[in-house]
Amino acid sequence: MKKWIIDNLVTSRGKQERKSLFQILEIAKKSIDFHEFSPSKRQDFLFISYYRTLIDGEKLQGKILPYIQSNLKTIHNLHQLKSVIPIEDILITNDTEEIELKLNQGFAVVRLQKTDEMCALINIENSNLGYRENNETENEFSVVGPKIGFVENIDINIHLLRRQIVASDLIFEEITVGSMSKTKVVIFYLEGITNPKHIQTVRERLKNLEFDMVFDSSQIDQMITDNAHTPFPLFLSTERMDRVTYAIVNGQVAIMSSGSPYVITGPATIMDFFVSPEDYYLPWVIGSFFRIIRILGVIFSMFSTPLYVSVLTYHYEIIPVDLLGPIVNSRVNVPFPPVLEVIFLEITIELLREAGARLPTKIGQTLGIVGGIVIGQASVEAALTSNILLIIVSLSALASFTTPIFKMSNTIRLLRFPFILAAALWGGFGIIISFVLLLTHLMRLKSLGTPYLVPLYPFRSSDYADSFIRSSYKYTTKRPGYLKPKLLKRYNAGQDHDDINNE
């Protein structure tokens, strides 16, 4: 009985919320950009309604009005109207939810009589208005290789991808997300290569989303992630087309949303965030060297200041005698313990970084250079910090910039502070405990069900050819095994020129 009452309440509430076509148009008339008129001499026949800020005026004037006016005498129903207008995307319906959605997407609503509930929806939206045409990457720079990035228009992005991956196996699926924004979200992958389980998982998570406004793909990233309580990004977010293309060819799934120039790909592993597209455009020895430099830079960025706090608070005995004198002299007038000294400088660096990011480019660059020099020099002269720590913190901040993906860079910046506090409380033992907890957390993380630390854990020797180093193309002929692609082999390595010359 109780269930029957609830079902009836839900049904009645749904019926009350359903608007009629007359109500939809009356509400729309309150907006200054809504327009309704009749192209016929008879004022009681054929009405066109639309939002002028959403439509393409040239389509309305060139492909609708001339054909309607020249065939007014022969138009007696909406199907005849559809046959005379040279536009393919025309829908005849009386579904008010569909009408309201299409009206707000740039369709024109055409009725023969004002009292008609049945109408024709004609697609005359201006899909390019307001979108930038310049698609160079702004935040992921590359010295070598293409500079092509994504834009906010999904159709343009699909065009770019179709030109890059010339294969009918490249599939694009559309899902609408957001009860108010009605954001177009597209899943794309390679049929016959990508694991169907990954595709199905992404599809189900997107369809189960209940959200009002979706502004950017980063929101979708957070809503469909395997673990929302981790600071680590579990999907790789990028604006570079070559990075997304490489992910798709490897067997990953990609997601892009309307209004966002960033595409997210998964399943992602922690090693994906230290890979730069430049690694594949340079000789493999040089590319591997730069990749190792990035990984070492991240390790230095995370552990340099905690080790400073740990050594100067608990472990003076491990400092070499030759280095002990300069350290003591640099801190002789500093009134604060090492932990406060480090936190003061770290927060100062973060403030400079945030201020530089929020200001216009020229002012931000000036602030970063002048502010860093002035504050650093003044801090040392005022004995608020030691000059040795200033060098360590500066190098630590510099090392964190080597991470190609901005989201992972943010994570590394955040992780330094728990390590610093643990070092202040328990010294080297605190750093070890923090590292063990971090490693345990990473071992439990998954991206679309794939372990985050693979190929480190679970150990997969076959996937090391493109992890810490970028091996020669001769040894990267297979797709990563942890993605479980339907087709493992990418290409045939062929024969080296050295072998040919020897023959």
| SS3 category, 170 | strand
Contact 98, 91 (CB under 8 A): yes
pLDDT at 1: 41
In a domain, 475, yes or no: no
pLDDT at 235: 95
pLDDT in tens, 234-271: 999 999 999 999 999 999 999 999 888 999 998 999 99
Q: In one letter, which amino acid is 492?
A: N
141 closest CA partner among 233, 239, 237: 239
Same domain, 264 and 299: no
Q: Quick one: average pLDDT of 192-209?
A: 94
In a domain, 465, yes or no: no
Last residue of a domain, one of 451, 470, 490: 451
The answer on pLDDT for 294 being more than 60 is: yes
Who has greater pLDDT, 143 or 390? Answer: 390
pLDDT band of 10, cuts 50, 70, 90: very low
Predicted structure pTM score: 0.81
By residue range, what is the domain housing residue 23?
A: 2-123
In a domain, 337, yes or no: yes
pLDDT in tens, 74-115: 888 888 888 888 888 889 998 988 898 889 888 999 998 888
Q: What is the DSSP letter of 64?
A: I
Q: How many domains does the chain have?
A: 3
Of 346-360, 432-446, 469-483, the one with minimum mean pLDDT is 346-360
Same domain, 29 and 110: yes
Give the chain's mean pLDDT: 85
The answer on pLDDT for 4 being more than 50 is: no
Q: Give whichever of 10-24, 373-387, 422-436 has the largest mean pLDDT.
A: 422-436
Same domain, 378 and 415: yes
The answer on pLDDT for 181 being more than 90 is: no
pLDDT at 349: 85
Same domain, 194 and 247: yes
Same domain, 242 and 302: no
Say if residue 360 is exposed, middle or buried (CB neighbours under 10 Å; 0-12, 13-18, 19+): exposed
Same domain, 103 and 189: no
Contact 26, 34 (CB under 8 A): no
Who has greater pLDDT, 107 or 146? Answer: 107
In a domain, 464, yes or no: no
In a domain, 494, yes or no: no
In a domain, 32, yes or no: yes
**Angstrom distance (rounded) from CA 39 to CA 47:** 7
pLDDT at 197: 95
pLDDT at 3: 44
Last residue of a domain, one of 268, 299, 316: 268
pLDDT at 226: 92
Same domain, 435 and 348: yes
| SS3 category, 116 | coil
pLDDT band of 416, cuts 50, 70, 90: very high
Same domain, 441 and 304: yes
Tally the residues of the chain.
503
Same domain, 162 and 91: no
pLDDT at 305: 93
Same domain, 366 and 403: yes
The answer on pLDDT for 404 being more than 90 is: no
Contact 429, 310 (CB under 8 A): no
The answer on pLDDT for 9 being more than 50 is: no
Same domain, 403 and 259: no
In a domain, 388, yes or no: yes
Same domain, 443 and 341: yes
Q: How many other CB atoms are found less than 10 A from the CB of residue 469?
A: 17
What percentage of the chain exceeds 70 in pLDDT? 90
Contacts of 47 (CB under 8 A, 6+ apart): 36, 37, 38, 110, 111, 112, 113, 114
pLDDT at 14: 42
Last residue of a domain, one of 451, 469, 495: 451
The answer on pLDDT for 122 being more than 50 is: yes
pLDDT in tens, 15-66: 446 788 888 888 888 888 898 988 877 767 888 999 988 888 888 888 888 8
